[in-house]
Structure 1
């Protein structure tokens, strides 16, 4: 059976590709197992950056509904949520390269990235409300932090598609490129970031920590991180 998540290294950048194009890269329990194994390796070596991509015409259409209906589950009910959290907490910058469908669980996956590069055919959507379920993989925490509470609620309540141009306007993605250039553009950006790898991990920690603090605390944390011996983002 083909690997469900592929890894290739381009310079100091690790590219992880969801590899179920016939299923629009739907997130099955087996796919999560492979993704977690790749995260184990990445956490050991810490590349200069990670590009998260999807094979075929879509990034990810969400959870594998067929597997859910068949009762296929993981032994640990929180395993998939924690895998998403691990991806978002990688010390190196993560870039999501999104084309076609980026729905629900796929949207939650993309939101773990620090930067989202979208193809001009990308379509974002949260369908939890249409299925009568609540998010479990981080959407309610990450989406409002990225686009604001009101816009996040609108996406959740209505469940309509958000095309790439609108996603860029509201801050859901950071850049739009022609679909044919998506992989190239994401890799170019990752390589530029990796060239600053000595500080990017500290920057990522510093900014993540700032969201948990008051303004005064965040300013003190920043001062502490830049003191001799503190290192970038070392405080906290």
Structure 2
């Protein structure tokens, strides 16, 4: 049985499924390496526009398989080619996480590496690093506080208290909550909405948002200006003409004003 399953549909949506349901999709080092390679391949594949990441069975990912903990934690941490979260963050394509059941510790970190999260009502996010004496290395100690605030993040991580789906939505951690049987449908709806847009701009927009989050506001605004200048400087007269024609076409389809 393939523990990591991938496929791409005709619309350009790539699917990566963690497929170890009897172990609640806990990760071994070979699984993590396979996922890292998959995300690197998605990034290089021009036919892939959006990636949906999910787990089979009742759990998204329960973290590292602790029976293989030494192999995972004492692996070559400087090998970025096999670093799953690094490859997710490097992937230019939008990553939608479909979270069903538990996203625990490493699973939580993988969820935080997604760009958009859709969760089932049974989803729970939990950081057990402090409980098991595991030091975070995939960003949980830094990312969570930036999403839900430092006080909430400290309590979640230092007490190992689960975040329910309802809390996750209120705190801005997830974008949508749905019934479990609607999870993939909602993720696909979000993916299709992204695919309808200008794909070059989608890639650039994701990059400027994510890169800007690593900087203070002043430097992030300067980054946006710099990339906008580069983008428009590279456009031809024909591209500007097509943009104007597209906007004019959209405007002509608007319903008449009631005024």
Using structure 1 for the length normalisation, give the TM-score: 0.90
- Cα distance per residue 1:73-123 (max 9 Å; x no partner): 475234488321210221111110001111111000110001110001101
1:183 matched residue in structure 2: 184
Match of 1:45 in 2: 45
Between the two structures, name the one with larger relative contact order (CA 8 Å, sep ≥ 6): 1
The residue that corresponds to 1:77 in the other structure is: 77
Q: Flag the structure with higher helix content.
A: 2
Contact 1:48-1:195 within 8 A present in 2 as well: no
Q: Identify the range of structure 1 (127-136 vs 101-110) with the bigger mean alpha-carbon deviation.
A: 127-136
- Partners in 1 of 2:31 and 2:79 — Cα distance? 12
Long gaps (5+) in structure 2 = 236-259
Give the TM-score of the pair, scaled to structure 2: 0.82
Q: Matches of 1:141 and 1:86 in 2, distance apart?
A: 18
Aligned to 1:5: 4
Q: CA RMSD in A?
A: 1.8
Paired with 2:40 and 2:180, the residues of 1 have a C-alpha distance of 31
**Offset of residue 30 of structure 1:** 1.3
Does the alignment pair 1:62 with 2:66? no
**Deviation, structure 1 residue 230:** 5.6
Distance apart, 1:200 and its partner CA: 1.2
Secondary structure at the aligned position of 1:137 is classed as: coil
- Specify whether residues 123 and 213 from structure 1 end up closer, same or farther in structure 2 by C-alpha distance, changes over 3 A only: closer
Instruction: Give runs of aligned pairs for residues 78-227 of structure 1, distance below 5 A.
Output: 78-79=78-79, 82-196=83-197, 197-227=199-229
Shift of 1:162: 1.3
Q: CA deviation at 1:14?
A: 0.4
Within 1, Cα distance between the matches of 2:234 and 2:213?
20
Gap runs ≥5 in structure 1:
232-236
Which position in structure 2 is the counterpart of 1:234? none
Residue 29 of structure 2 corresponds to 29
- Are 2:18 and 1:14 equivalent residues in the alignment? no
| Bigger shift: residues 124-133 or 207-216 | 207-216
Q: How many pairs align?
A: 228
Between Structure 1 and Structure 2, whose CA radius of gyration is higher? 2
Alignment check: 8 A CA contact 2:32 2:83 kept: no
| Aligned equivalents of 1:79, 1:182: Cα separation in 2 | 34
